[in-house]
Structure 1
């Protein structure tokens, strides 16, 4: 039998307490920089309002957010390409530096006389780059703290990072309001003129990310006795096939229906139909690639059901772009004037909800946390559908609290995982936004379709109806996930091996 004390000693970090404390402080600082730059790194609201300012349609306005979540599979590929512990600090710094470089390139592009389509392409690219490198940076930070501190000593760092961190996001959102203009709890901000306001906003994120890149080099990591080697290509072939096919699917669908480019407008109906067919085939191929990659997990019933529930609920993560674009219909001004306060409410509510939901989890079960956050997500869409005027903005606060489903869905999956599968299953969980990402493009397409066809219900103009239709579709996805969880998911999931032992002894 294994001796628990011996196992505890084996898992104990060999670093001294001052060295561990240094790592914990750096962890909190690096996490804080990401929160402080949240208005530009949490892709969706800000990018959608900028696309709107450039005259883009709703589909294009949703593309940065769609690509952001689609690229959340990249941490797995980066970990496969560079698995060595000795590369950990370098990889973390490269993630932050890449983000800084992309923000610099976007700010320069906005300041230039480049054509609008190129500027829109750079905005979409910034969404994709952020989706690739920021989740990877978070994964690297968790590995650093895992290797550079004892589990019993991480509480302070986590409370600083995820308690004070969202407050830094609120502060950053306040700065965004001052730059873009708008009203904030009775205070009016004129903001800077366009495009200087957006140029300064994106440029302000550059020194923050560079600072994080420098701090990342000061972590203290004990070299392992034996370095990890790269796994064969066969281990990631599903992702290598699925990711490009998914991007191709969105591109084909976009080109088949885009109306803002003269070249695309000249496409015949036959060409557009062919593009739609190609998009559908690519989507099927992408789905097959992802299922193949995760086949070992999806064979387990509870994990399969939890995966379906999570993907359905995660469809709510890609609706903020439409929620921002709808601001002009219900509040009467251009979306950018509300982006700052929307982000502020989003993160402010998240701070409050985080503590309350943590209390709930200690007194209930893993499914309750999942259902609670999913229900809050649903409430945000119902609020957006039925509430107009200044109170509409509260939908962003409710949505921000609901985004904590990104914590409680993984917690449910973790509870259903065997100890020897936890690392693999959590890596899998970080990629569940990938199949949910195309929903963002769908929401934008619904708005544009309503405008083109002139759909109208109950006296609403076609634009307002299109946005409310997208919120209804999003709410339907979330509600489907909630019902599936209520009916099929056990309140306290057990790993497959435990269930087998209990059934054999019964």
Structure 2
């Protein structure tokens, strides 16, 4: 029944998306080869501090706050016992319900603060979520899924920070580089799995929390609150 309800909604989303008109990037005459353009794009991305450090912080938060989710879900069985099998729907409800509610609050907060605050806020929510995983037992453990779900909105505000740090002509390119770099997060999932196998899941949770705290320190120390895009060369 759940899939029957979801299918029409997905179809509606597809129809709406089909009506979008995305303007093509204006081709500018250039004497440089395609490889030279790619090299120039990478150079402007990694040589500009807000972009490079923002990307590193994004990968750290993605690793510590999202790649650990499978371990958190598996740990529910240890916390709840056999009853965990009947909580899968509740886990998803809390994950996306908290995310929807947090989306409204975070949008309001962005209007009143700055892009850096949003990075710290979403990362803080993830740290609280991991703290909940480490310290709460019983049915209250499920709230961790809601907290981590709300924190997953980092996936909106880190790209927003990168876009804010980019010249208008480089926004698409830099977001593409950020998405490409995010493929490295797959190694974090492998790392957490190895740690869980050798030292237990609790050790993987402490590792994820440490990564998130390191990301917060990096954001506080190295990123400007309102990044000014570098003028294109």
The normalised TM-score by structure 1 is: 0.40
Answer yes or no: is 1:302 the counterpart of 2:45: no
Corresponding residue for residue 488 of structure 1: 222
Which of 46, 68, 72 is the matching residue for 1:319? 68
How do residues 212-223 of structure 1 correspond to structure 2 at under 5 angstroms? 215=15, 219=19, 221=21
**Which whole-Å deviations, capped at 9, do the CAs of 1:34-59 have from their partners, x for residues lacking one?**
xxxxxxxxxxxxxxxxxxxxxxxxxx
User: Is the Cα–Cα contact under 8 Å of residues 310 and 432 in structure 1 kept in the other structure?
Assistant: no
Of residues 87, 103, 108 in structure 2, which corresponds to 1:359? 108
SS in 1 for 2:82: coil
Secondary structure at the counterpart of residue 431 of structure 1: helix
Aligned mates of 2:101, 2:194 — CA distance in 1: 34
Work out which of the residue numbers 388, 396, 408 in structure 1 matches 2:145: 396
CA RMSD of aligned residues (A): 3.4
Tell me which residue corresponds to 2:118: 369
* TM-score relative to the length of structure 2: 0.84
Q: How does 1:177-256 map to 2 (within 5 A)?
A: 207=7, 211=11, 215=15, 219=19, 221=21, 234=35
Residue of 158, 171, 183 corresponding to 1:434: 183
Q: Number of matched residues?
A: 227
Which of these two proteins has the greater Rg computed from alpha carbons? 1
Q: Which residue of 2 aligns with 1:346?
A: 95
Change (3 A) 1:293 1:446: farther
Judged with a 3 Å threshold, the aligned counterparts in structure 2 of structure 1 residues 424 and 390 are, in CA distance, closer, same or farther, namely same
Are the equivalent residues in 1 in contact too, given 2:41–2:173 (CA < 8 A)?
Answer: no
Which has the larger displacement, 421-430 or 479-488? Answer: 421-430
Which structure would you say has the larger RCO, counting Cα contacts within 8 Å and 6 or more residues apart? 2
Question: 115, 127, 136: which is aligned to 1:378?
Answer: 127
> 1:494 Cα shift?
0.8
CA–CA distance in structure 2, aligned partners of residues 222 and 412 of structure 1: 22
Shift of 1:237: 9.1
CA distance in 2, matches of 1:447, 1:486: 30
Alpha-carbon separation, structure 1, partners of 2:22 and 2:123: 40
Deviation at 1:445, TM superposition (A): 1.7
In 1, distance between residues paired with 2:127 and 2:195? 19
Q: Deviation at 1:221? A: 4.8
**1:60-459 alignment runs, 5 A limit:** 175=2, 207=7, 211=11, 215=15, 219=19, 221=21, 234=35, 294-315=42-63, 316-333=65-82, 335-450=84-199
Is residue 377–residue 402 contact of structure 1 (8 Å, CA) maintained in 2? yes
CA distance in 2, matches of 1:222, 1:234: 25
Cα contact 1:327–1:333 (8 A) shared by 2: no
Structure 1 pair 380/219, CA: closer, same or farther in 2 (3 Å)? same
**What is the distance in 2 between the residues matched to 1:481 and 1:439?**
14
Distance change (3 Å), C-alpha of 1:470 and 1:205: farther
For residue 313 of structure 1, give the secondary structure of its aligned residue in structure 2: helix
CA contact (8 A) 1:325 1:335 kept: no
Task: Give the Å deviation of 1:434.
Answer: 1.2
CA distance in 1, matches of 2:97, 2:183: 27
SS of the residue 2:219 aligns to: helix
| Partner SS, residue 497 of structure 1 | coil
In 2, Cα distance between equivalents of 1:441 and 1:236: 34
Distance 1:233 1:327, change over 3 A: farther
Shift of 1:428: 2.2
